[in-house]
A and B are shown apart, each in its own frame.
Chain A
Amino acid sequence: MRAAVITFPGSNREGDVARALKQAGATVAQAWHADTALPGGTDLVVLPGGFSYGDYLRTGAIAARAPIMDAVRSHSARGGLVLAICNGFQIACEAGLLPGVLVRNANLRFACKRQHLKVERCDTAFTRAYAPGQLIDVCIAHGEGNYICDAGTLAHLEDKGLVAFRYCDAEGQVTEAANPNGSLNGIAGIYSESLNVLGMMPHPENLIEHLTGGIDGKGLFDSLLGRSRAA
């Protein structure tokens, strides 16, 4: 597994996600927003968290038009894997890799806390190391994580099983109280039509060591390295 982590001006989680990928066994290359091609042999592109371009105009809007993004779109169109976390999710939506948009949290507060998620399906390249319906305890840190889209798109996401994760409470209940930002249907992450692009607001890369709070995020990186739950 060769991963390319793209750094935009204002990205700040590229080192953490690279570390999580290396821990899982991936070969990680760093790519720069102004590059026009991905490193040779890239299997996985990562759009990391941060505050690209200072969130100017709209979160992710300017990064989505960076030179490297044409190569990312081609990679995705070929079926290549893309993992877009937090600001990366905002960039992926703005770039048209995923439908919908992430707007200001409904309560207007920056949410920085531990958060339970429900893993909606465990048959994708990103989640096969998790158990069906598993609850995971990860971190969120965002001011614009409120996922919205039109009614037709939402129905399509639900009908096709393209919701990857939902915010829930410690019992796994998807409730309004457990929703930290007002996202439609408690959506914390979604897949593209072909399940090769995952966008998510929470930070799995924060939860890969017992020393720093738990390992519930590790399953995502293990999944990407091809390890399934049974393996």
Chain B
Amino acid sequence: MKARVTVTLKTGVLDPQGKAIEGALASLGVDGVSSVRQGKVFDIELSGNDQASAHAALTTACEKLLANTVIENYRIDLVA
């Protein structure tokens, strides 16, 4: 089974990297971008096929390592 974990900054947490990217896009002439927030994507392969246990394992992974929940949110998507 494959999964994708997306880690994003919580609302209100300053994202200087996103701001710099936003500025670079403007300087490249990419119009209509009002805000950029940078995050992380983890593509993970799991050995089992049970959705519930995969979700539980990934939740543990996020809480223990992949996200710092002081500043980040995470989303788990299981991809068949």
Contact = CB atoms under 8 A, between A and B. Distances in A.
Interface of A: 57-58, 61-62, 65, 94, 99-101, 103-108, 146, 148-150, 182
Contact of A108 (B13, B16, B70): B16
Given A106-B16, A108-B16, A148-B14, A101 B70 contact: yes
Q: Interface majority SS on A: helix, strand, loop or mixed?
A: loop
B16 A149 contact: no
Contact of B65 (A57, A148, A182): A57
B14 A106 contact: yes
Interface string B29-69: 00000000000000000000000000000000000111010
A106 B13 CA distance: 11
B71 interface: yes
A146 B14 CA distance: 10
A99 B71 CA distance: 12
A149 B14 contact: no
Contacts of B14: 103, 106, 146, 148, 182
B79 interface: no
A57 B17 CA distance: 15
B25 interface: no
Q: How large is the interface on B (under 10, 10 to 19, 20 to 34, 35 or more residues)?
A: 10 to 19
B20 interface: yes
B70 A58 contact: no
Contacts of A108: 16-17, 20
B16 A107 contact: yes
A101 B71 CA distance: 8
A207 B66 CA distance: 36
A215 B26 CA distance: 47
A150 B70 contact: yes
Interface hub of A65, A99, A100, A104 (most chain B Cβ within 10 A): A104
Contacts of B70: 99-101, 149-150
Contact of A61 (B13, B16, B20, B65): B65
Given A104-B17, A107-B16, A65 B71 contact: no
Given A101-B70, A105-B16, A182-B16, 20 more contacts: A57-B65, A58-B68, A61-B68, A65-B65, A94-B68, A101-B68, A101-B71, A103-B71, A104-B17, A106-B14, A106-B16, A107-B16, A108-B17, A108-B20, A146-B14, A146-B16, A148-B13, A148-B14, A148-B71, A149-B70
